[in-house]
Structure 1
Amino acid sequence: MSDAKPWIANYPPETAASLEYPRVPLTYFLEQSAQDYPDSYAIYFMGKRITYRELLQMSYQFAHALMSRGVKKGDRVAIMLPNTPQAVISYYGALFAGATVVMTNPLYTERELIHQLNDSGAETIITLDLLYKRVSSIKASTPLKRIIVTSIGDFLPFIKKLLYPLVQKKEGHNPQVPYGSEVEPFLSILKESAANPVQPEVDPVEDIALLQYTGGTTGVAKGVMLTHGNLIANAFQCQAVLYKLKKGKERILGALPLFHVYGMTTVMNKGISIAAEIILVPKYDVKKIFEMIDKMKPTLFPGAPTMYIALINHPDLKNHDLSSIEACVSGSAPLPIEVQNKFEELTRGRLVEGYGLTEASPVTHSNPIWGKRITGSIGLPWPDTDCRILDPATGEALPQGEVGELAVKGPQVMRGYWNRPEETAAVLRDGWLLTGDMGYMDQEGYFYIVDRKKDMIIAGGFNIYPREVEEVLFEHPAIQEAAVIGVPDAYRGETVKAFVVFKQGQQASEEELEKHCRQRLAAYKIPRQYEVRVDLPKTMVGKVLRRQLQDEDKKRREAEDNQIKSS
């Protein structure tokens, strides 16, 4: 592959191939938006609204609170919260204090928490009263020194705030938090702290803003070191691609969790950089999403395919108007063509597929939203993002059209994995990040992912990419979701097994599904086994956990083997 970048010719005229990135800390976005749009709303949360002036003031206060408690530049501060105003205040407050943020999934078990807190060395955590028991139970096994506790009720409108404790009791939640010197309430430390500006001494190129832990789907979770410069760059690249978005005018539906890097960039950092109003959704519930769209009329809805699938298949869909949504970028998993078409028909907006990974802040590619897009493609590399397709065996660059491992290079690519030089060296080579995804580039510079290198199924010597089989299954009118894995086969080495979720009130026999696949796939790619499920295991952003399906299937086979032996 030559050094030419054929994708640049397909950029819309409004998108520059290379951008200027200011050498500033990530907190610059919030200060600029508060300066230019002080009275515009920054956050909407369950009826409560917070302006940019208020958000900046509370972030300064939280920074002072952390610094007065001994948090110094470079210290790690863990944030274990759902999508609430406290999550945004804690994030920017920690950055103003010069700390490195460690976003922590509120669903983490004790074991996962212990690993992340020990690995990162975080001594401070901000969490919910509902999660306090879990956090306090592992405190002694970690470096944690202080726990700052908040409640969903802390930022509710006045009446809802009064009623919230009753709602908690009714639902069987009555968290007992023993406040003291090591366990403090979020609102109290905020109110007692100064609101004067804080200027962190940050080198955007060198200083780590974020330790974002990988999902651990391929082993132990690793801390991805993302600098202020990485995150600034990805937000600027995002704006260059979404060039029609107007400062101070947009409303972003924040259904993606902010503790996931995709939501953090496309909802929070991007939203704050253009002074948008961020509509925070603490839990994805389709009925609540419909209500939110009806009431708040969001213009931008970054999401994952499963979010869009849930909306377009909901029986209440016909009673709601989704036409305010002008643009959506779908990430974290392949976007089925049928979902894209149906969603665009309903919103009259644009839904395009993008691609990224935690190690790249996270976005590297997307289809042009208002330009030429190619169905089934992840689109074009973003400005200043270089890409190659490499032979996985030799590391040599491959010509157009040939399948190999996608490698990317750009200002959004991580510094490396926290305290893991060997694992960093395995994926970062001369600034090139090896993604672990197999794909190819066409003549026009559009990229296609065929699958994870690790998920590829080898049956009878043939390479089978689960995504291709899943796309075909998605085309069946009765199927809502599908996932494909390789399972052991005495004759072929591996064979294809499909897990399917049917649409409400619909069914299809294995014979029907086989006939459907046979018309669209080579014989060796057709699933030999099917399992019907009510749902599929997923990450918080809707990526199907193939590894969990493999583990479950392996346990089931082992149990069957043991039963046969014992009988």
Structure 2
Amino acid sequence: MDTPTETTAASRPWIASYPDGIKWDAQIDTRPVHEQVLAACSKNPFGMALDFMGGTTSFGDLAKKITAFAGALQRQFGVKKGTRVALMLPNTPFYPIAYYGVLRAGGIVVNCNPLYTVRELNHIVSNSGADLMITLDLLQIYEKAEKLMEAGTVQSLVVCHFPDALPLLKKLVYSVAKRKDLAHLNRSPYRGRITYFHHMIDRDDMPTPVVIDPHKDIAVQQYTGGTTGLPKGALLTHANIAANMSQIDKWGDGLFYPPSKVIAVLPFFHIFAMTVCMNVPLCNGTPVIMLPRFELKALLSLFARTKANVLPSVPTLLSAIARADNVTAEQLASLEVAISGGAALPDEVRNAFSKKSPAILAEGYGLTEASPVVCCAALRKASKPMSIGLPLPGTDIRFVNIDTGKPVGIGEDGELQVRGPQVMQGYYEDEQSTKDAFMDGWLRTGDVGHMDEDGYVFLVDRIKDLIICSGFNVYPRIIEEALMTHPAVEETNVIGVPDDYRGEAPIAYVKLRAGQTATDADLKHYLADRLNKIEMPKEIIFKDALPKTLIGKLSKKELREEYAQHKGQKK
């Protein structure tokens, strides 16, 4: 167990705003996550742990499969402490079994997004040194794994048979009606290096004990930073992962315990879902209800069938719910808490969602390098609007001037920096990036914001998205928030572009709501009394769809490239 470092209470104004019963200096549990989940399984072996498309896995069965898989990894593939194993899996029961199995065997999980290109996957897998990959026989995913074998990046594959994740009737129907969607492994030129997941489970090998030092041994090597260059592998120790689970658990004040049910529509390979949708609930004996991807109809059916009450989400998903005419409060009746993360939550989306559901909508904030959660709004009562809440127990934050690096006062904007037991060791084999990520022992987030007198944290924007207009700082988020209040605007994303007169100028991209019309002049007229002249977009460009990242964040990278190409500028 860890005890947070001592600092004067005056330097932590947020403590006075903590909900009753939650203590900042509570002890943080750093036991390895696989030990915690196996302990939870032993307490309630007959309880439901996983629900996938109506097919369920008990905690007892989950423990047996984790243990058997860990044993097979050790005996068949020689996995030991420090061995990196790549997981390229969507949300299915296979993911938690593989994840905890790798950790129980002593290995390090390297998460791979199945929607990445082969080029992106090749960088992550080759950089990590993982020559064993666990994946699925769905053709669109398996083909990428096979190309990695062809390139020599991956030496061995463990393949999960997708129909095995389904309840019996759906399995039979899928095996007949969707056969063309499955890879034929017996035809693969690499079939000699392919092992079926279920064959490994059937071996029922007992793993040998592995002594883990939670504070030194790496549990997850999570790649991040792909929007600004090649992704870097953040080294998250067992203690980092467990500490953030413990912090979220304490902040939830019982929310993540039975009879709660947590919906996992966000992908487990993303750090937010890995921690909040999987690790925290399962280690507390709470069922996880999985969807392989977001579809509104399927999500509503899931609410009706399971009566789930906790929904970790991202703003685009919440917006889809809020703006759908066919979604009623009755369909969302079981929902008690929705947690928004991954990107800034527009106030317009918050307000629209509140008209659909009385559930608490809590915005949180984190980053991969912090395992990931740093701040969160209260989960049992309403918090200040537009705030990302308060620092979690055991977490210290500060804001520093982005030019001088000196701490700023209450209400003054600066770069948010973090210190706590959830902060990574550094980046894998990248000393310079690791050095650049810290300042005097504090993790630099690259986000700009401030703290108010009550300790609530408000973010303004990313440093790298800051637009310097005639020497003035212009934050895209300010412009985006103003545009989102217009009734015709469904989504917007603002970037900075080179400008001969001002150095840089803001350009706004806008997607209009169905059936709505607006022109550049209309929106600029609307913004005239909401923005100053420096903040006013130089141009407003309308698009049918705005590019997003694979977890639903609006992406500026593609817009910058598109604008540069359109204007014939050098990228």
Length-normalised TM-score, structure 1: 0.95
Alignment deviations for residues 176-199 of structure 1 (CA, whole Å, 9 cap, x no partner): 2237441111112211233x4764
Counterpart of 1:292 (choices 302, 323, 327) is 302
**Aligned residue runs from structure 1 range 120-159, under 5 A:** 120-129=128-137, 130=139, 131-159=141-169
Shift of 1:372: 5.4
| Partners of 2:471 and 2:155 in 1: CA distance | 54
**Structure 2 counterparts to residues 516-531 of structure 1, below 5 A:** 516-531=526-541
Aligned to 1:100: 108
Where do residues 162-311 of structure 1 align in structure 2 (5 Å cutoff)?
Answer: 162-169=172-179, 172-177=180-185, 178=188, 180-194=191-205, 196=206, 199-245=209-255, 247-311=257-321
The correspondence for 2:40, drawn from 16, 33, 43, is 33
Matches within 5 A, 1:515-554: 515-554=525-564
* 8 Å CA contact 2:399, 2:407 repeated in 1: yes
Q: For the Cα contact (< 8 Å) 1:333–1:543, is it kept in 2?
A: yes
Deviations 1:432-490 (A, max 9, x none): 10111111111111111111101001122221100111111111111111110112222
**AA of the residue aligned to 1:185:** Y
- Matching residue's letter, 2:61: E
Partner residue, 2:54: 47
Residue 62 (str. 1) matches residue 69 (str. 2): yes
Q: 1:47 to 1:420 in 2, by over 3 A?
A: same
Cα distance between partner residues in 1 of 2:198 and 2:298? 27
Spell out, residue by residue over 1:24-67, the C-alpha distance to the aligned partner (whole angstroms, 9 max, x if none).
21112212211222111110001100011111110011101100
Name the % identity. 39
Name the CA distance, whole Å, in 2 between partners of 1:319 and 1:369. Answer: 20
Are 1:78 and 2:86 counterparts? yes
What amino acid does structure 2 have at the position aligned with 1:45?
F
Aligned counterpart in structure 1 of residue 426 of structure 2, from 389, 397, 416: 416
Question: Post-superposition shift, 1:215?
Answer: 4.2
- What amino acid is aligned across from residue 53 of structure 2 in structure 1? M
Which residue of the other structure, out of 512, 519, 522, is the alignment partner of 1:509? 519
What residue is the counterpart of 2:3 in the other structure? none
Distance verdict in 2 for CA 1:319–1:266, change over 3 Å? closer
Corresponding residue for residue 341 of structure 2: 331
Alpha-carbon shift at residue 428 of structure 1 (Å): 2.1
Work out whether residues 257 and 281 of structure 2, in 8 Å CA contact, stay in contact via their aligned partners in 1.
no
Q: Which residue of structure 1 lines up, in the alignment, with residue 4 of structure 2?
A: none
Report if the CA contact (8 A) 2:276-2:312 is conserved.
yes
* SS of alignment partner, residue 370 of structure 1: coil
Helix, strand or coil for the counterpart of 1:524?
A: coil
CA distance in 2, matches of 1:147, 1:21: 37
Distance 1:115 1:400 in 2: 42
Runs of 4+ in 1 over 6 A off after TM superposition: none
Once residues 149 and 482 of structure 2 are traced to their aligned partners in structure 1, the CA distance between those partners, rounded to angstroms, is: 48
The letter for the 2-side match of 1:324 is S
1:474-493 alignment to 2 at 5 Å?
Answer: 474-493=484-503
Q: CA deviation at 1:551?
A: 0.8
Q: Give the conservation status (yes or no) of the 8 Å contact 1:389–1:398.
A: yes
CA contact (8 A) 2:414 2:449 kept: yes
Give per-residue Cα distances to partners, 1:483-536, cap 9 Å, x unaligned: 101122222122111111122222222222112211211121111211222222
Moved more, 38-47 or 131-140: 131-140
Structure 2 counterpart of 1:28, one-letter code: E
SS of 1:317 mapped into structure 2: coil
Is the CA contact (8 Å cut-off) linking 1:114 and 1:142 kept in structure 2?
A: no
Whether the 8 Å contact between 2:266 and 2:293 is mirrored in structure 1 is no
Kept in 1: contact 2:328–2:356 (CA 8 A):
no
| Amino acid corresponding to residue 321 of structure 1 in structure 2 | Q
1:166-216 deviations in Å (ceiling 9; x for gaps): 3324xx53422237441111112211233x476431111111000000041
Matched residue, 1:355: 365
Is 1:448 the counterpart of 2:458 in the alignment? yes
What amino acid is the match of 2:196? P
C-alpha displacement of 1:343: 2.0
1:109 to 104, 117, 120: 117
Q: Deviations over 1:53-105 (max 9, x none)?
A: 11111001110110012111110010001000001110000011010000100
Q: In 2, distance between residues paired with 1:529 and 1:123?
A: 48
Deviation readout 1:343-376 (Å, 9 max, x if unpaired): 2332211001111000000000011233451111
Shift of 1:319: 8.2
From 404, 408, 416, the equivalent of 1:394 is 404
- In structure 2, C-alpha distance between the alignment counterparts of 1:319 and 1:367, rounded to whole Å: 23
Aligned length: 557
Structure 2 portions without partners, runs of 5+: 1-6
Alpha-carbon contact 2:360-2:381 (below 8 Å) kept: no
Give the unaligned 5+ runs of structure 1.
Answer: 562-567
> Does residue 119 of the first structure (1) align with residue 127 of the second (2)?
yes
Provide the rounded CA distance (Å) in 2 between the counterparts of 1:374 and 1:457. 27
Deviation at 1:140, TM superposition (A): 4.6
**For the Cα contact (< 8 Å) 1:328–1:350, is it kept in 2?**
yes
Q: How does 1:5-20 map to 2 (within 5 A)?
A: 5-20=12-27
Q: TM-score, normalised by structure 2?
A: 0.94
1:564 aligned residue: none
Match of 1:24 in 2: 31
Distance 1:246 1:46 in 2: 22
Task: Tell me the secondary structure at the aligned position of residue 250 of structure 2.
Answer: helix
